[in-house]
Structure 1
Amino acid sequence: MSVETEEADTADPTASPLVHFGREVRLERERLGMPRQELAKAATCGYSLVAKIESGDRIPPREFAEACDRVFPHSNGRFIRLWPLVLRYAFPPWFRRYVELEEKAAVVRMFNPQLLPGLVQTTDYARAVLRTGRPANLEDLVTARIERQRILQREQPARLWLVLNQAVLTHTVGGPDVMRAQLGHLRDLAEDPTHRVQIIADKGRHHGYHSPFGVLSFPEGSDVVHVDGFPRGYLLAEPDDLEKARGAYDLLTAMACPPDESADLIDSTLKDHYS
């Protein structure tokens, strides 16, 4: 995934949702005669981030939008209402539909043979993964990826079922400190009764699945399959594709260790590789 890189005229508030958001922040701040440093303090961020948000150069975290609604007396929740649109346009057009569906999903099933998927990555792990593509807008990419994880923290969280190859645990991303924190986060998810984490132990035999994919299920309507790939992923909704994806996922869960054994495998990996 990458943030859209289309050139936008930052003097034109209609150029993009990001530019519009930044202009509204600056207008409200200047109307109050508030220095940027004061807004930065209220939003618990740096002066430079406020400047970049106002110029339409950085994606605001949700907490920044919430701070604006607290600080600006007549906003009436405007900034938190604008924020989802800003975030949606942080993703490339081909990925936006998936993000919209993911936000509505009741159950998210994911398989990844090589990396932790973005939905469960820590900030440092995500930064290390995304940095490999040498993007000019790395922090925007990280912000957009981490914000997707709110579906696991909402009042009625999406249920996550995650299947990973054991190699994901030992494939060092960002160094031992990053991996300790990442596997600790994965261990917490494995202990959460809402979610399921299963590891396919490496027994020297390949199971035949090498592409990351996932299945989204909703309170109403049919499932949707997402297949990750290069240079872009794609969505599938045809009944035949859904049946094949469900069958593949069922087979992977059957091959994987049960949840309790998977949690033990995460613990042993932490001890043996990153202690």
Structure 2
Amino acid sequence: MVRINDLDPGASPLDYYGWELRRLREAAELSQSQLGECIFCTGSLVGQIETAKKVPTRDFSERVDAALGTDGAFTRLLGLVLRSQLPHWFQAYAEMEAQASYISTYQCQLVHGLLQTEAYARALLTVDHERRADELVAARLERQRILVRENPPVLWVVLAEGVLHQEVGGRAVMGDQLRHLLDFRTHPWVQLQVIPFSVGQHTGMMGSFTLLRFDDDPDLFYSESYDMGHMTANSQVIKERSVGYARLQANALSPEDSAVLITRVMEERYGHQADPDERTVA
């Protein structure tokens, strides 16, 4: 078992979180069990987080901040902790994604991570990372918080129609995921288009990619393979992929017609009924 004295608070955000939790709990003269009672969890869970054996959740962090009077310190630290749980090669992209003012992405296989439901994300991540699924799902949901912050980025997503038909997690999970996509119709900064099968060949068939635009920094192009990500600010790459993305948008259904297609697939393939207002989209 890891002893708290063995933790190096500089080793990782998770170690620092555990070290600080132990330090402030002891300063408040509370045992692990006593703190657990205050925040409605077990003392064992407190101990696991203090020794970096378990990743804290946002709910846990908010309760700790309230119990120890830390003015949101653990809640603010949580973002770094969860980001550190992402694959090492993905972390640099996640940091840039969080700073972008405009995100344009084409996805040919999966719903983009910023639009995934928890159940959809869990089904995907459990395939190769069953033991770490909880941490990875929490990290993915944490990424999505950029869409609800005070100044969110513009997010423009183009999906291949096959994404709607690729069943992930079962019929119920996919039905909920497609309904979740429809919910973004009311989000002022999210636009979603679908490229239907009928388009045939198009410029996105080489694979998924993302373009990030910033207020004061050069644009970035990002793509990934199974175990690595590629990010570049090369101006020629940015130019070519920006034109390619514009062509994808032109080939795709309008956001309104895309919603009609998503609704039809949701009902016919996954047995989910649309709400009345969802049926009126035209």
Equivalences for 1:55-204 in 2 at 5 Å? 55-73=51-69, 75-203=70-198
Output the CA distance in 1 between the equivalents of 2:33 and 2:269: 43
What is the aligned-residue RMSD (CA, Å)? 2.3
Equivalences for 1:177-256 in 2 at 5 Å? 177-203=172-198, 205-208=200-203, 209-256=205-252
After superposition, the Cα gap between the structure-2 partners of 1:113 and 1:48, relative to the gap in structure 1 and judged at 3 Å, is farther
After superposition, the Cα gap between the structure-2 partners of 1:201 and 1:88, relative to the gap in structure 1 and judged at 3 Å, is same
Deviation, structure 1 residue 239:
0.3
Q: Which has the higher helix share?
A: 2
After superposition, the Cα gap between the structure-2 partners of 1:23 and 1:116, relative to the gap in structure 1 and judged at 3 Å, is same
- Check conservation: 2:7, 2:19, Cα contact below 8 A: no
- Check conservation: 2:108, 2:159, Cα contact below 8 A: yes
Q: Deviations for 1:92-117, whole angstroms, at most 9, x for unmatched residues?
A: 33222211111111111111111101
Structure 2: 5+ residue stretches without partners: 272-282
Q: Deviations for 1:217-244, whole angstroms, at most 9, x for unmatched residues?
A: 1122221111121211110101001001
- Check conservation: 1:40, 1:47, Cα contact below 8 A: yes
**Which shifted more, 17-26 or 110-119?**
17-26
What is the letter of the counterpart of residue 86 of structure 1?
V
TM-score where L is the length of structure 1: 0.88
Output the CA distance in 2 between the equivalents of 1:254 and 1:172: 27
- Check conservation: 2:158, 2:192, Cα contact below 8 A: yes
- Check conservation: 1:113, 1:211, Cα contact below 8 A: yes
Output the CA distance in 2 between the equivalents of 1:31 and 1:220: 43
Output the CA distance in 2 between the equivalents of 1:44 and 1:165: 44
Larger Rg: 2
Counterpart in the other structure of 1:54: 50
TM-score where L is the length of structure 2: 0.86
- Check conservation: 2:171, 2:270, Cα contact below 8 A: yes
Output the CA distance in 1 between the equivalents of 2:153 and 2:40: 28
Deviation, structure 1 residue 51:
3.8
Q: Deviations for 1:153-211, whole angstroms, at most 9, x for unmatched residues?
A: 00111111000011111111001111121111111113323211000111272325231
Among all aligned residue pairs of Structure 1 and Structure 2, give the percentage whose two residues are the same amino acid. Answer: 36
Output the CA distance in 2 between the equivalents of 1:41 and 1:184: 38
Deviation, structure 1 residue 256:
0.5
After superposition, the Cα gap between the structure-2 partners of 1:46 and 1:210, relative to the gap in structure 1 and judged at 3 Å, is farther
**Which shifted more, 83-92 or 113-122?**
83-92
Q: Deviations for 1:34-90, whole angstroms, at most 9, x for unmatched residues?
A: 4556645665666665443222123223333232221103x3443234333323322
Equivalent residue of 1:154, what SS?
coil
Output the CA distance in 2 between the equivalents of 1:262 and 1:222: 31
Structure 1: 5+ residue stretches without partners: 1-7
The answer to whether the aligner puts 1:23 opposite 2:19 as a matched pair is yes
What is the letter of the counterpart of residue 244 of structure 2?
A
- Check conservation: 1:211, 1:228, Cα contact below 8 A: no
After superposition, the Cα gap between the structure-2 partners of 1:101 and 1:35, relative to the gap in structure 1 and judged at 3 Å, is same
